[in-house]
Amino acid sequence: MTTIAAPRPRSSLFRRAAFALAAASALFASACASMGNMMSEPQQPAIGLYEMRIYTPAPGKKAALDARFRDHTVGLFQKHGMTPIGFFHVYTPPGAPADDRLFYVMGYKDRAARDESWRAFAQDPEWQKVYADSQKDGSLTTQGGIENVFFSPAEYSPKLNLTPSATPRHFEYRVYTGNPGKLENIHARFRDHTMRIFARLGMANYLYWRPVADQPAQTDKMAYMLAFPTAAARTTMWQAFAADEKWKKVSAESQVGGQLLKTPGGVVSVQLTPTDYSPLR
């Protein structure tokens, strides 16, 4: 007698189908979430050339210069393919004389792209009108009050991060001048030791630079930027750095063959406070 197998209960088939559908839905939702996160993360520009520009406002023109950048110039920079990175006022410690200079950092793909963007910016009718209107009552900068330096990123520099901070930070721009033949020793000390000590003590390594070679005034120099939670934290962290036993050992060992930094004047430091229109804060 032939035995015919009983069919599986329909409820079991339904349960298996429902499970497969749920798993597929979860996978799809996860993929969508990942894509959404990727799309929401800001794309960091590819920058091969940095420019530090320093403006000295004419007397009484600091606010007008800020207004021109805030309301017009930054947007026009972006329109012409430039990357505005950070705009800073000089931090003046209590009791120190005021320093009204404006420091700002721009990024470009390369020198050719930079020059083409500035050419287009200078010829833009909107900029020409903004510039003329802003200068009606006198120049916003002093005569010879615009300086600039071109940098390439050091090979050990952290990747540019323009993600806004929840609260404005305190920045420091430092320029080192090495004794002849010692510049690469300085870079090696930062790459192999100093940056790690900074990070351990809470000092944020931001950008490290080599001046572009066609600038005679920048011979034997390197520059970098650090970020701190506050001006007070900066003071405390530098004190901790100077007293750090690891740093003392590294400093001594690195200078067995001679002092690395020029003395005096081998270290120039400028403390900076981000403006309200600065992308980097």
pLDDT tens digits along 56-73: 999 999 999 999 999 999
- Burial environment of residue 7 by CB neighbours within 10 A (0 to 12, 13 to 18, 19 or more): exposed
Residues 6+ apart with CB under 8 A from 256: none
Q: Is 127 domain-assigned? A: yes
pLDDT > 60? residue 19? no
CA distance linking residue 102 with residue 273, whole number of Å: 10
Transcribe 103-131 into DSSP letters.
Answer: EEEEEESSHHHHHHHHHHHHH-HHHHHHH
pLDDT in tens, 70-119: 999 999 999 999 999 999 999 998 899 999 999 999 999 999 999 999 99
Inform me whether the pLDDT recorded for 20 exceeds 60.
no
Q: Match 């305190």 to its residue by tokens.
A: 170
pLDDT of the residue at 24: 46
pLDDT at 32 exceeding the cut of 80: no
pLDDT of residue 168: 84
The answer as to whether 102 is a domain residue is yes
Rounded to an integer, what distance in angstroms lies between the CA atom of residue 132 and that of residue 74? 17
The token pair at 184 is 């690469």
From 99, 248, 82, 263, select the one nearest 173 (Cα to Cα). 99
Percent of the chain with pLDDT over 90: 79
Residue 57 belongs to domain with CATH number: 3.30.70.100
pLDDT score recorded for residue 167:
83
In whole angstroms, give the CA distance from residue 229 to residue 232.
Answer: 8
Q: Say if residue 125 is preceded by a cis peptide, omega within 30 of 0.
A: no
Mean local confidence (pLDDT), 166-194:
96
81 in a structural domain: yes
pLDDT per residue as tens digits for the range 205-260: 999 999 999 999 999 999 999 999 999 999 999 999 999 999 999 999 999 999 99
Q: Quick check: pTM over 0.75? A: yes
Number of domains observed in the structure of the chain:
1
Is residue 18 included in any domain, yes or no?
Answer: no
What is the predicted pLDDT for the residue at 140?
98
Q: Is residue 65 part of a domain?
A: yes
Please give the structure tokens belonging to residue 281.
């804060």
Question: Does 186 map to a domain?
Answer: yes
Does 174 have pLDDT greater than 80?
Answer: yes
pLDDT band at 46 (very low <50, low <70, confident <90, very high): confident
Looking at the domain assignment, is residue 32 inside a domain?
A: no
pLDDT of residue 44: 60
Residue range(s) defining the domain that contains residue 100: 49-274
Q: Average pLDDT over the chain, rounded to whole? A: 88
Return all residues near 224 (Cβ < 8 A) that are at least 6 apart: 154, 157, 173, 174, 190, 205, 206, 207, 208, 209
Position 133 pLDDT exceeds 50? yes
CB atoms within 10 A of CB 156: 13
